[in-house]
Structure 1
Amino acid sequence: MKTLLEKEEFERLLAESVKTHGHLCPGQVLGVRLAMLGLKLIGIQDPKGADRKKFLVYVEIDRCATDAIQSVTGCTLGKRSLKFVDYGIMAATFVNLETNRAFRIVAREEARKLADGLFPEIDDRYRRQLEAYKALSDDDLFQVEEVKVDINDFDLPGRPRRRVRCQVCGNWVQDGRDIQQAGQILCRACAFGGYFRRLNS
């Protein structure tokens, strides 16, 4: 963040994000910074207004920074503009649907060590990280690479493109998430086993 205007915008977005997330933490600072950079890279200026249907964001971790990314971008799972890919990596990819340009931004692990050196007078490690993540440059905080994301039509926002019924459990499956197996249409839980077990079956 170089200009006073960028700093003011960061503070405003951070305050909104903290309200949504419930507390201020280093992950909130990191997520707000990451989202601001991602939107800038793909040329989105009004993410919650005129540009809201022009981009998608893929997040790779279910941690604090993801709440911040959602808060800043306005992207949500329900709007189908936020995609969760569970890699366990503090990273997000921003995709402009009009230009097809995409950038993957990964938080640098080295930033934690830089925080120790930048604010050695702060005893609390989390507060040290919080202040450092506000002060460090984007280059110190993030690794950025331009990438190509092949987006399936079933993953785009909008109405479901297909709805079919699982021939085992009877649940309706949307957006091409069904599995064709042994001549049957199945939901993924019936095809592969689910994260849950039915107690009365």
Structure 2
Amino acid sequence: MKPLADYLREADKEGRPRSGIILGIRMVLRAMQELQIGDPAEVHRQLIAFVETDRCLPDAVELVTGCRLGNRTLKFRDLGKMAATFLDLRTNHAIRLAARETANQRALEVFKGLEKEEALSRAYREWPDEELFSWQPVAVELPTEERPGYRAPRVVCAECGEGISFHREVARAGRPLCRSCAGERYYEPQ
């Protein structure tokens, strides 16, 4: 595993890393330590990360582990929390980590002469993991169709004619429908 400074240099290539990226990298490094994974690249496609926010943390997870939506190793669960769960498919061990909200307030008190972003960044770089996160082992059931490399026949929606992958169709009146046509769309046609 590379040290924090190496990951921060990599993150710096896209602009100075924000405090959320720093905290995210620290979170991932702690998770890898807890799961006894020395180099995430060695467990390619055998490590699944579930992120509970769409801000900063997914970028940090991808940077350190290589987990990505496109290879089905990064899963997004919109819970609005700076938290993530990491599942090692080789051992079926999983760990969930969550940022301690108290660390933010404490950082602003300890580094009160600094701007908020700089105070948080400094705390996230320097403080021990125990002050930044809580973590616990968890059990995660990952269905076969959610795993990397899963293949299934594509189904065509009987309503719109679009293809549906990975058993995401819904059966209505004996016909396969995509979730959009079944009423679960996030958009409204104009």
Q: Which residue of 1 aligns with 2:20?
A: 27
- Corresponding pairs, count: 190
Secondary structure class of the residue paired with 1:78 = helix
1:95–1:149 CA contact under 8 A, matched in 2: yes
Report the RMSD for the aligned CA atoms in angstroms: 1.6
Give me the whole-angstrom Cα distance separating, in 2, the residues matched to 1:70 and 1:197: 32
Cα shift at 1:164: 1.0
1:116–1:128 CA contact under 8 A, matched in 2: yes
Give me the whole-angstrom Cα distance separating, in 2, the residues matched to 1:68 and 1:18: 12
2:174 is the alignment partner of 1:180: no
Unaligned runs of 5+ in 1: 1-5
Give me the whole-angstrom Cα distance separating, in 1, the residues matched to 2:138 and 2:150: 27
The one-letter code of the counterpart of 1:129 is L
2:171–2:177 CA contact under 8 A, matched in 1: yes
Unaligned runs of 5+ in 2: none
TM-score under structure 2 normalisation?
A: 0.94
The one-letter code of the counterpart of 2:91 is T
Give me the whole-angstrom Cα distance separating, in 1, the residues matched to 2:16 and 2:57: 12
- Among the aligned pairs, what percent are the same residue? 36
Cα shift at 1:159: 4.3
Give me the whole-angstrom Cα distance separating, in 1, the residues matched to 2:3 and 2:136: 24
2:143 is the alignment partner of 1:152: yes
Give me the whole-angstrom Cα distance separating, in 1, the residues matched to 2:79 and 2:167: 22
CA gap of 1:196–1:109, structure 2 versus 1, over 3 A, is same
Q: Which residue of 2 aligns with 1:43?
A: 36
Q: Which residue of 2 aligns with 1:61?
A: 53
2:60 is the alignment partner of 1:72: no
Matches within 5 A, 1:23-172: 23-48=16-41, 50-122=42-114, 124-172=115-163
1:17 to 11, 20, 26: 11
Cα shift at 1:98: 1.0
Structure 1 stretches of at least 4 aligned residues deviating more than 4 Å after TM superposition = none
CA gap of 1:171–1:23, structure 2 versus 1, over 3 A, is farther
Give me the whole-angstrom Cα distance separating, in 2, the residues matched to 1:95 and 1:162: 27
Per-residue CA distance 1:134-187 (angstroms, 9 max, x = gap) = 111111100101110000111000142232111111111111111112211111
Bigger shift: 128-137 or 175-184?
175-184
1:55–1:96 CA contact under 8 A, matched in 2: yes
2:52–2:84 CA contact under 8 A, matched in 1: yes
